[in-house]
């Protein structure tokens, strides 16, 4: 099936980007010169910890155990965020309510891409979209019957995977942008409405600044261009590619509304009893 070529392109690009953006090996710590000193000299040498300030600091550290390292806490929070679902079905793995969340590493961006692109819900959504497309005779070049449905299913799945790959991994790594949606969660409803719809075109960088969402826009048009490989000949061309990519970005803006307000809806509709029980216990 031609859609497999799109998946092959994504996998190949992933391997190349991992090689290009691979981390440099960490430098080994240099050996201490005191390791070659006689034991007597080492005992006589003043240790930094013997200074009054250091002794006081060590005493404080013993009395107050240090919290978990930031990296461990961040991993736990990311694990919780990447288990979010709408009604227990649709994934919301790329949504965070923490405005101060640490930036994602290359590996974490790749994990976020694979977790969302190959989630069981993605396969089910592709099947539903293919069934609707066949009922409406979308892409008539695919034909009807089981063969036509299979081609539509492959094309739909390839669209999802390629779009997610370029928008959530390849370009975010290349351009150092964060592919997640950062919820406001507060302020006025009007402000949150505008904020959620503009997030399709505004992103946070790995440095914490905000700028135009190049990764998302370039990802949509790149995936649209690749779709010309497996779409029927009657549904190819620059004009159709641009229109489909623009529609995908518009749908993304609507998706921002869901990302912003669903946690509020979920809390009010499904967790009222939990709040009542907590109030009764107190």
Structure confidence at residue 65 (pLDDT): 46
The single residue listed with the structure tokens 């930094």 is 48
| Cβ–Cβ < 8 Å for 131, 144 | no
Nearest to 163 by CA among 223, 109, 122, 211: 223
What Å distances lie between residue 249 and 77, 149, 215, 243, CA to CA?
28, 26, 12, 10
Structure tokens at 20: 């290009």
What Å distances lie between residue 184 and 149, 177, 187, 279, CA to CA?
41, 19, 7, 26
Structure confidence at residue 274 (pLDDT): 54
For residue 61, pLDDT beyond 80: no
Reduce the DSSP state of residue 282 to 3 states and report it: coil
Write out pLDDT tens, residues 72-88.
Answer: 888 888 899 999 999 99
Structure confidence at residue 113 (pLDDT): 96
Structure confidence at residue 280 (pLDDT): 53
Predicted structure pTM score: 0.70
Quick one: pLDDT band at residue 135, thresholds 50, 70, 90? very high
Structure tokens at 141: 């070049």
Write out pLDDT tens, residues 200-248.
Answer: 999 999 999 999 999 999 999 999 999 999 999 999 999 999 999 999 9
Q: What is the mean pLDDT of residues 106-126?
A: 96
> What's CA 218's distance to the chain center, in Å?
16
């Amino acid at each position: 099936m031609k859609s497999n070529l799109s998946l092959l392109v994504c996998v190949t690009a992933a391997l190349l980007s991992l090689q290009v953006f691979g981390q440099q090996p960490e430098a080994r710590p240099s050996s201490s010169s005191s390791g070659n000193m006689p034991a007597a000299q080492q005992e006589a040498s003043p240790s930094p910890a013997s200074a009054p300030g250091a002794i006081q600091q060590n005493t404080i550290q013993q009395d107050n155990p240090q919290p978990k390292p930031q990296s461990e806490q961040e991993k736990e929070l990311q694990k919780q965020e990447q288990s979010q679902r709408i009604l227990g079905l649709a994934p919301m793995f790329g949504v965070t309510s923490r405005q101060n969340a640490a930036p994602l590493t290359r590996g974490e961006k790749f994990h976020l891409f694979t977790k969302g692109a190959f989630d069981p819900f993605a396969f089910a959504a592709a099947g539903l979209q293919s069934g609707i497309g066949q009922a409406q005779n979308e892409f008539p070049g695919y034909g009807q019957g089981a063969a036509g449905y299979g081609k539509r299913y492959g094309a739909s799945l390839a669209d999802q995977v390629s779009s997610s790959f370029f928008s959530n991994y390849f370009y975010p790594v290349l351009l150092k942008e964060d592919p997640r949606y950062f919820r406001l969660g507060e302020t006025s409803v009007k402000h949150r409405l505008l904020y959620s719809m503009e997030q399709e075109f505004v992103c946070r960088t790995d440095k914490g600044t905000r700028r135009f969402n190049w990764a998302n826009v370039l990802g949509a048009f790149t995936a649209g261009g690749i779709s010309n490989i497996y779409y029927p000949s009657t549904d190819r061309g620059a004009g159709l590619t641009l229109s489909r990519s623009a529609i995908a970005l518009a749908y993304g803006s609507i998706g921002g509304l869901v990302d912003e307000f669903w946690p509020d809806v979920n809390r009010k509709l499904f967790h009222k009893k939990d709040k009542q029980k907590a109030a009764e216990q107190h």
